[in-house]
Amino acid sequence: MRVTFKLYAMLADHLPDEARRTNALDLEVPPGRTVGQVIDEFNLPPKLVHLVLVNGNYIQPGDRAGRALAEGDVLAIWPPIAGG
């Protein structure tokens, strides 16, 4: 199944070059792939995995390992950031 994977701010360094200008990557993953597994696959430094959203909804740290993605989901991740 296909999902969209987005990494922002410092985490964008973990995207392949061609995806940096959009911060987004189309991923083909097996059904049942979890948020936690995608995070592990991309070797994202745990300290930088702060704000994790699936389709814009926040996923609590404790729920990430068990949260299965569905076809068409958008997984977006930010390091600790803030604004005003």
Q: Which residues bind other proteins (CB under 8 A)?
A: 6, 8-10, 12, 21-23, 47, 50-51, 53, 55-58, 60, 74, 76, 78-84
Distance CA 24, CA 26 (A): 7
Q: Which CB sits closer to other proteins, 11 or 30?
A: 11
Report the amino acid identity of residue 41. Answer: E
Q: Which CB sits closer to other proteins, 1 or 12?
A: 12
Q: How far is CA 56 from the centre of its chain?
A: 11
SS3 55: coil
Q: Which CB sits closer to other proteins, 29 or 76?
A: 76
